[in-house]
């Protein structure tokens, strides 16, 4: 059995490419999986298609997948229902601000933990990892109280400060920094570079994929976050897209679904564009960093 | 986390202080003790100040609050263990704990099985356009749960929902699942699985790509079929990845909020009321801050215990492989 199978396995791997192209089973497999994927993507497809349906079609029976008549009315309506431009700006300010601060603060701390061996660094790392287990909800109330004592309610400072550093990010980057060859920075140190210099000119440029990955995670998570902006912003002018859209569905919110989907589509668009631009590097660096 | 692999490889375990390599003659910028300390503090300070202010201090403060009747007005009074007693005796709270457990028990295995199956298909060299599938199936993860929940509730609408309509066409009547006390929870879980599987899938893909192909070739030479190759090669080699995904999924399940808030607000008849929904309700709607804090602490302790149990369970198995 083994002796028979042996040559077959080898030829299969060598001639595989040429034969695969003509293999009908392969295309049946592809078609079946494409159907599964389409079924899974149905909610996303629905968001896109409903956004372009006129109000009369959105609630028509029997329901249809595609609009008979394409319209942009929903997009106009969402801007008149909500201070939508302002909400988009707030989302960028909040998610973008958090991302910038978290990347800077996390990478600094991660560098110290990965490269500057000091007494207690291991204990500090364990404490940081342990704090990952704390549900955000468990500290939500005191955080809110602290922010309001600082007089930061309904300000960007208040929205951003509690997230300006994040234990997950420190851990994630530390794992990446540790994996960089030690000779890189020692060479710079021999040349008399300061630690700050080593960090900025040697370690950071080599950590771009990890920073990119963490940056996207942070941006997406905060852009999409509902609970924190919901409890934190009492002033609608300071809300984010995600929290703003939920206001529409709240009690008594009789907003047409088409308008809602238009809002949803606009809310997803920046993330989708960003993700599609960097997706290859993104998924690869999830694979290559300590996220396993 | 064992302390073992927190150690940088190649470090002498006894040497705690940074010692410059011999050839540097001990003359590095970090040699001066004061300057070295200042440098370390400088690097750590920004992150540690934020974490201390917004994670450390709130934890202590929540613990204090949980023993008082704080309501946001007037001076909170010490009430001892009253809030904690209420957590375990109030039938509503006990029910929401049961709901949270049910949610976690449904969500974790389903999400993991779906993610692993899709990762296996996408990883298969027989599939054309793998890159397309990989990025398409990751898309639900970047759609906010709040937005995804709108789309789902529209699809499931008993009158005009497309999904209901199609199911009826093939003879399945599901009715108004979000108003059905039995079906509401599975529906909420389904939406959460849909939203999160992409993230777990990518992590599984990363794990799958790390398995040396030589192992599969060897298994094939021994005449192992597809299923045998999965149970004897793939699954054991994924144990580290699995450990990570299980704990991340479990913690996500315990903290479920967004989709419940949008889809059901905890209804019908409190059948989807989870602990975090309850914390939000007591803390920010009823302004019962002391009670909400006690509830938070119970959630915190459960999360820590589960993480610890998971760590003890998986920590042994994946010891030899660095995480």
Q: Residue A89 has what pLDDT? A: 93
Which residues in A lie closer than 8 A to residue B283 (C-beta atoms)? 140-141
**Domain total in chain B:** 1
- Whether A213 contacts A282, CB under 8 Å: yes
Least reliable range by pLDDT among A52-61, A216-225, A257-266: A52-61
Interface of B with A in 59-118 (CB under 8 A): 59, 61-62, 65
Residue range A157-189, pLDDT digits in tens: 999 999 999 998 998 899 888 888 888 888 888
Indicate yes or no: CB of A104 within 8 angstroms of CB of B46: yes
% chain B with pLDDT above 90:
21
Phi, psi of B94 (to 5 degrees): -60, -40
Q: How many CB pairs under 8 A join A and B?
A: 308
> Which of A39, A135, A203, A220 is best to mutate for the B interface (most B CBs within 10 A)?
A135
Indicate yes or no: CB of B137 within 8 angstroms of CB of A37: yes
B301: cis peptide before it, omega within 30°?
A: no
For the cut 90, the answer to whether the pLDDT of residue A109 exceeds it is yes
d(CA A259, CA A123): 52
For the cut 90, the answer to whether the pLDDT of residue B111 exceeds it is yes
Indicate yes or no: CB of B206 within 8 angstroms of CB of A27: no
Residue range B263-277, pLDDT digits in tens: 887 778 888 888 888
Phi, psi of A277 (to 5 degrees): -65, -40
Indicate yes or no: CB of A112 within 8 angstroms of CB of B43: yes
For the cut 60, the answer to whether the pLDDT of residue B15 exceeds it is no
Phi, psi of A240 (to 5 degrees): -105, 170
Indicate yes or no: CB of A50 within 8 angstroms of CB of B154: yes
What value does the mean pLDDT of chain A take? 82
For the cut 90, the answer to whether the pLDDT of residue B48 exceeds it is yes
**Closest residue to A137, CB basis, from B7, B202, B296:** B296
d(CA B254, CA A23): 46
Indicate yes or no: CB of A146 within 8 angstroms of CB of B139: no
Least reliable range by pLDDT among A109-113, A133-137, B197-201: A133-137
CATH of the domain at B289: 1.10.3720.10
Pick the residue from chain B with its C-alpha nearest to A56.
B160
B265 assigned to some structural domain: yes
Average pLDDT on B151-169 reads: 86
Q: Residue A2 has what pLDDT? A: 38
Q: Residue A83 has what pLDDT? A: 84
**Closest residue to A291, CB basis, from B47, B203, B289:** B203
**Closest residue to A249, CB basis, from B59, B141, B262:** B262
d(CA A144, CA A228): 9
> Is the CB of B11 inside 8 Å of chain A's CB atoms?
yes
Distance from CA of B67 to the nearest CA of A (A): 14
% chain B with pLDDT above 70:
87
> Which of A129, A142, A245 is best to mutate for the B interface (most B CBs within 10 A)?
A142
For the cut 50, the answer to whether the pLDDT of residue B6 exceeds it is no
Distance from CA of A235 to the nearest CA of B (A): 15
Between B195 and A209, where is the model more confident? B195
Q: What is the pTM of this model?
A: 0.80
| Interacting residues of B164 by C-beta distance below 8 A, sequence separation 6+ | B155, B156, B157, B158, B174
For the cut 80, the answer to whether the pLDDT of residue B180 exceeds it is yes
Residue range A264-291, pLDDT digits in tens: 899 999 898 888 887 767 666 665 554 4
d(CA A164, CA A151): 18
> Is the CB of B131 inside 8 Å of chain A's CB atoms?
yes
Neighbours of B297 (CB within 10 A): 20
**Closest residue to A26, CB basis, from B44, B128, B165:** B128
What value does the mean pLDDT of chain B take? 82
Best-predicted range by mean pLDDT (A12-21, A190-199, B220-229, B235-244): A190-199
Q: Is B68 helix (H, G, I), strand (E, B) or coil?
A: strand
B265: left (phi over 0), alpha (psi -120 to 50) or beta: left
Which residues in B lie closer than 8 A to residue A223 (C-beta atoms)? 144
For the cut 80, the answer to whether the pLDDT of residue B30 exceeds it is no
Q: Residue B26 has what pLDDT? A: 43
d(CA B104, CA A170): 28
Residue range B302-311, pLDDT digits in tens: 888 887 887 7
Indicate yes or no: CB of B283 within 8 angstroms of CB of A192: no
Of A227, A133, A128, nearest to B299 by C-alpha is A133
CATH fold label, A82-247: MetI-like fold (1.10.3720)
Distance from CA of B250 to the nearest CA of A (A): 11
> Which of B47, B159, B215, B252 is best to mutate for the A interface (most A CBs within 10 A)?
B47
For the cut 90, the answer to whether the pLDDT of residue A38 exceeds it is yes
Residue range A241-264, pLDDT digits in tens: 888 887 776 555 456 788 888 988
Indicate yes or no: CB of A142 within 8 angstroms of CB of B61: yes
B49 assigned to some structural domain: no
Domain that holds residue B252: 81-317
Distance from CA of A124 to the nearest CA of B (A): 10
Distance from CA of A226 to the nearest CA of B (A): 6
Average pLDDT on B103-111 reads: 95
Cα angle for residues A112, B321, A110 (degrees, 5° grid): 10
> Is the CB of B318 inside 8 Å of chain A's CB atoms?
no
Pick the residue from chain A with its C-alpha nearest to B41.
A112
d(CA B42, CA A207): 20
**DSSP 3-state percent helix, strand, coil across chain B (nearest 5):** 70, 0, 30
Which residues in B lie closer than 8 A to residue A104 (C-beta atoms)? 46
Q: DSSP letters of A56-106?
A: HHHT-SS--SS-SS---HHHHHHHHHS-HHHHHHHHHHHHHHHHHHHHHHH
DSSP letter, residue B78: B
> Is the CB of B262 inside 8 Å of chain A's CB atoms?
yes
- Whether B126 contacts A20, CB under 8 Å: yes
| Interacting residues of B250 by C-beta distance below 8 A, sequence separation 6+ | B104, B108, B306, B310
- Whether B224 contacts A2, CB under 8 Å: no
Interface of B with A in 175-234 (CB under 8 A): 194, 202-203, 205-207, 209-210, 217, 220-223
Q: What is the ipTM metric for this complex?
A: 0.81
d(CA B9, CA B320): 13
Q: Residue B240 has what pLDDT? A: 78
Which residues in A lie closer than 8 A to residue B159 (C-beta atoms)? 59, 61
* All structural domains of chain A with their residue ranges: 82-247
């Amino acid at each position: 059995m083994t002796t028979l199978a042996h040559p077959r396995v080898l030829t299969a791997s060598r001639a595989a490419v040429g034969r695969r192209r003509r293999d009908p089973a392969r295309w049946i497999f592809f078609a079946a999986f494409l159907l599964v994927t389409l079924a899974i993507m149905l909610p996303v497809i629905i968001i896109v298609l409903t956004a372009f349906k006129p109000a009369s079609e959105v609630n028509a029976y029997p329901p249809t997948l595609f609009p008979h008549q394409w319209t942009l009315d929903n997009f106009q309506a969402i801007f008149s229902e909500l201070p939508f431009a302002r909400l988009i700006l707030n989302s960028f300010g909040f998610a973008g601000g958090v991302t910038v601060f978290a990347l800077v603060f996390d990478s600094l701390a991660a560098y110290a933990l990965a490269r500057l061996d000091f007494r207690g660094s291991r204990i500090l790392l364990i404490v940081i990892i342990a704090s990952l287990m704390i549900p955000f909800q468990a500290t939500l109330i005191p955080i809110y109280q602290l922010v309001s004592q600082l007089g930061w309610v309904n300000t960007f400072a208040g929205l951003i400060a509690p997230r300006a550093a994040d234990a997950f990010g420190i851990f994630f980057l530390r794992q990446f920094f540790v994996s960089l060859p030690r000779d890189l920075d020692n060479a710079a140190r021999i040349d008399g570079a300061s630690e700050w210099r080593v960090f900025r000119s040697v370690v950071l440029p080599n950590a771009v994929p990890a920073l990119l990955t963490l940056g996207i995670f942070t941006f997406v998570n905060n852009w999409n976050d509902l609970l924190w902006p919901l409890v934190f912003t009492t002033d609608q002018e300071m809300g984010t897209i995600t929290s703003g859209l939920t206001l529409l569905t709240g009690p008594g919110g009789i907003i047409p679904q088409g308008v809602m989907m238009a809002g949803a589509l606009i809310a997803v668009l920046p993330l989708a564009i960003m993700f599609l631009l960097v997706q290859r590097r993104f998924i690869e660096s999830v694979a290559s960093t300590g996220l396993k | 986390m064992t302390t073992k692999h927190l150690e940088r490889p190649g470090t002498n375990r006894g040497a705690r202080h940074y010692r410059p390599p011999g050839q540097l003659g001990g003359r590095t910028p970090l040699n001066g003790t004061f300057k070295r300390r200042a440098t370390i503090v400088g690097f750590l300070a920004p992150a540690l100040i934020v974490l201390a202010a917004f994670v450390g201090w709130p934890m202590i403060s929540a613990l204090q609050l949980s023993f008082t009747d704080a309501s946001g007005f007037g001076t909170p009074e010490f009430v001892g263990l009253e809030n904690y007693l209420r957590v375990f005796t109030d039938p509503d709270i006990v029910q929401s704990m049961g709901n949270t457990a049910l949610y976690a028990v449904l969500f974790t295995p389903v999400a993991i099985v779906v993610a692993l199956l899709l990762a296996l298909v996408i990883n298969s060299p027989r599939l054309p356009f793998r890159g397309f599938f990989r990025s398409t199936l990751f898309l639900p993860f970047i759609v906010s749960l709040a937005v995804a929940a709108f789309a789902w509730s529209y699809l499931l609408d008993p009158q005009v929902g497309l999904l209901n309509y199609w199911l009826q066409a093939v003879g399945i009547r599901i009715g108004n699942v979000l108003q059905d006390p039995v079906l509401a929870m599975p529906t909420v879980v389904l939406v959460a699985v849909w939203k999160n599987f992409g993230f777990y899938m990518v992590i599984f893909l990363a794990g799958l790509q790390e398995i040396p192909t030589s192992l599969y070739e060897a298994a094939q030479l021994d005449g192992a079929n597809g299923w045998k190759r999965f149970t004897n090669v793939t699954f054991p080699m994924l144990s580290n990845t699995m450990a990570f995904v299980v704990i991340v999924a479990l913690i996500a399940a315990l903290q479920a909020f967004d989709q419940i808030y949008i889809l059901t607000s905890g209804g019908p008849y409190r059948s989807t009321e989870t602990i975090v929904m309850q914390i939000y309700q007591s803390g920010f709607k009823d302004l019962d801050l002391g009670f909400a804090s006690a509830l938070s602490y119970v959630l915190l302790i459960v999360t820590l215990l589960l993480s610890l149990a998971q760590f003890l369970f998986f920590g042994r198995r994946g010891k030899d492989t660095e995480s």
